[in-house]
Amino acid sequence: MKKATVLSILNDLTGEDFSNNLDEDLFASGLIDSIDTVQLLLQLQSQLGMDVPVSEFDRNQWNTPAKIIKKAEDAE
């Protein structure tokens, strides 16, 4: 459930399907920038109830779909 939601959010932000590429580096590939990051965090909050302050956002911990999914699952 959380995986599908995260993949859906990323698809909306980037137009890419990451279901078979969970280790894609979203920042290095240029698929997500700082504005997209804020949108990602807002969507995670509204759809999954995750509260991640931008001030605590570490790009290296959120740079792949797999890491974002793990964060979502750990936030339960």
Q: What is the pLDDT of residues 12-70, one digit of tens each?
A: 999 999 999 999 999 999 999 999 999 999 999 999 999 888 788 899 999 999 999 99
Sign of the four-CA dihedral 70, 50, 32, 9: positive
Q: Which helix (H) or strand (E) holds 3?
A: helix 2-14
**pTM as predicted:** 0.92
